[in-house]
Structure 1
Amino acid sequence: MSLQTPMSPSRPNSSRRFNLPSSSSSDTDGDDDPNNLPFPTALPRSDFLSPSFDAASYLSSLSERHQTLEDLRQDLRDRSAAISTELLELVNANYTGGEERVEDVRVGLLGFRRAIEEVKGRVGDRGREIQGLSTELGGVRGEIETGRRMLELNDRLELLEGRLALDGAEVDSDESEDDEDEEENQIVGSSATKLAALAKDYTTIDAMADDIGRDTSYVKKLAERIAKCRATILLDVGTTIKAAKKAGPSGQEKLIKLMAVCSTLDAQKEAIKALKGA
Structure 2
Amino acid sequence: MTSAFHLPSSTSQSATSTPARISTSNPSYSDDDDDEDTLPYPIELPRSDFLQPDFDPQTYLSSLRNRHQTLEDLRSDLRQRSQLLNQELLDLVNGNYEEFLSLGADLKGGKKRVEGVRVGLLGFAREVETIKKGVQDRVLEMEGLLREKKEVRRDVGLGRSLLEVEERIGELEEGLGISSLTDGFLDEDAGAPEDLDDEDEAVGPVKRLRRHAEQYLLITHTAEQIGFGHPFLQAQRSRIEQVRKTLLLDLASAVRQAKRERASEDMLTLLDIYARLGAEGESLRVLRSGG
Shorter-chain TM-score: which interval? 0.5 to 0.7
Match of 2:278? Answer: 266
Distance 2:118 2:240 in 1: 77
Instruction: Confirm or deny that 1:171 pairs with 2:193.
Output: yes
Q: 1:196 is matched by which residue type in structure 2?
A: R
Distance 1:176 1:131 in 2: 56
Q: Cα RMSD (Å) of the superposition? A: 2.6
Question: TM-score with structure 1 length normalisation?
Answer: 0.58
Distance 1:162 1:176 in 2: 14
Q: What is the SS of the residue equivalent to 1:215?
A: coil
Match of 2:255? Answer: 241
Instruction: Confirm or deny that 1:152 pairs with 2:174.
Output: no
After superposition, where does 1:161-200 map in structure 2 within 5 Å? 161-168=173-180, 170-173=192-195, 177-178=202-203, 191-200=205-214
Distance 1:243 1:89 in 2: 122
Q: What is the SS of the residue equivalent to 2:193?
A: coil
**95-104 vs 256-265, greater mean Cα deviation:** 95-104
**Which structure exhibits the higher relative contact order, with contacts defined as CA atoms closer than 8 Å and separated by 6 or more residues?**
1
Distance 2:126 2:103 in 1: 34
1:89 to partner: Cα distance: 9.1
Distance 1:241 1:192 in 2: 9
Unaligned 5+ segments in structure 1 are: 1-83, 180-190
- Percent identity, aligned pairs only? 32
Distance 1:90 1:118 in 2: 41
Unaligned 5+ segments in structure 2 are: 1-96, 181-185, 187-191
Which deviations, in whole Å up to 9, do the C-alpha atoms of 1:214-238 show, x marking residues without a partner? 1110000001101110111112112
Match of 1:217? Answer: 231
Which deviations, in whole Å up to 9, do the C-alpha atoms of 1:170-189 show, x marking residues without a partner? 4134665226xxxxxxxxxx
Verify the 8 A CA contact 2:194 2:201 in the aligned structure 1: no
Instruction: Confirm or deny that 1:138 pairs with 2:160.
Output: no
Match of 1:118? Answer: 130
Runs (4 or more) in structure 1 with deviation over 4 Å come to 87-93, 173-176
Which deviations, in whole Å up to 9, do the C-alpha atoms of 1:91-116 show, x marking residues without a partner? 66533422322222122112111111
Q: 1:216 is matched by which residue type in structure 2?
A: H
Q: 1:219 is matched by which residue type in structure 2?
A: L
Q: What is the SS of the residue equivalent to 1:266?
A: coil
